[in-house]
Amino acid sequence: MTPKRILVADRLRQPPATGWSWIDRRFLREHGDYLSREALLLYFFLTSVADRHGLSFYSDSTLTCRLRMPQAALAKAREELRERDLIAHQLPLVQVLSLPPQAVRRRAQPGQGLFQLGEVFRQIAAAAPSTPADRGSSGPASAPTPPAHPGSTPPPSPSPPANPDDRRNTR
């Protein structure tokens, strides 16, 4: 972790004497990647103007002017935030809601995670055909390469593909 140090000591942020706002860090981690730029802008604006209960009452005309956003984009952004359960809207009020409970745990419980992934691989392996003939291979079956012994010559390199379109550009 990068060590933190104050860069400009005489300009430290302090809570305002009047007003109330904050943005929960979970917002960006859990919702930021799924929202449009307009929805992010609207959320940040609403959190900055909301009172301690998350309420604000800016009209659509004021929001479109302040955010430099067309009415249709504002309506779409508001709907995105409502669909993710981040705001409630009932004219003339908007309420920024507490973030919904986390849907996914960051760490697997004991006995989960890699164990489950291993089980998936075992199931795939059990369902896969065991021989090239069972797999419906149209090409010749390749024999496994024997282990190299000291003093032995390396196996010959495979021949180029018959179809020139199958060649990869190796430059």
Residue 171: the pLDDT is: 46
In the chain, the domains with their CATH numbers are 27-96 (1.10.10.10)
Residue 44: the pLDDT is: 96
Residue 85: the pLDDT is: 94
Residue 14: the pLDDT is: 73
Tens-digit pLDDT profile for residues 115-158: 456 666 777 777 777 666 655 555 555 555 555 555 555 555 55
CA 159 to centroid of chain Cα atoms: 43
pTM score of the predicted model: 0.56
101 three-class SS? coil
Strand partners, 93: 90
Residue 131: the pLDDT is: 63
pLDDT below 70 — which residues of the chain?
20, 103-120, 130-171
90 three-class SS? strand
What number of CA atoms fall less than 13 Å from residue 76's CA on the CB side?
9
Please report, in angstroms and rounded to a whole number, the separation of the first and last CA atoms in the chain.
40
Spatial separation of the C-alpha atoms in residues 87 and 84, rounded to whole Å: 8
